Amino acid sequence: MNDEVIELYRRLIAGWNAHDAAAMAEPLAADALVIGFDGSQMLGRQEFETELSRIFVDHRTASYVVKVRSVNPLGTDAALLHAVVGMVPPGGAEIMPDRNAVQTVIAARERGVWQIALFQTTPAQFHGRPELSEALTSELEAVRREGA
């Protein structure tokens, strides 16, 4: 289960990094809920793909650097994935600490197929605790260097 859920999440992230709205939306369930970094909410794969297409046309987006922290089963056909992410700007080399975030995925298997039912991104601002922000940025920079 863990490997399947991680692969599902990695396909989602790969779609973002490729600036490909259809590829990013593909792992989502038809009725998935997506909650963005800014609190925006999109209901369903189609709404998500439409919104991302608009974003990718108008903006050069930063790329994600990802570290999956855990995958926990929620029964035999559902799981909770917890990851942390940083973003590297286009043409940049380092993570932008103000864009660090925590991502949560709830994946569900229906008729043998895993899909994302919920994808949420929450800014990792750590108000009043700059040491936590610095530690997360260092952790993600290590992941970025390993992948470079």
pLDDT for position 115: 98
Residue 148 has pLDDT above 60, yes or no: no
Q: The pTM is what?
A: 0.93
pLDDT for position 1: 72
Q: For 108, how many CA atoms within 13 A lie in the half-sphere containing its CB?
A: 11
Q: Return left, alpha or beta for 135; rule: phi > 0 is left, psi -120 to 50 is alpha, else beta.
A: alpha
Largest CA distance in the chain: 46
Binned at pLDDT 50, 70 and 90, residue 143 comes out as very high
What residues does each domain of the chain span?
A: 2-147
Domain 2-147 sits in CATH 3.10.450.50: yes
User: Helix and strand tally (H, E) in the chain?
Assistant: 4, 6
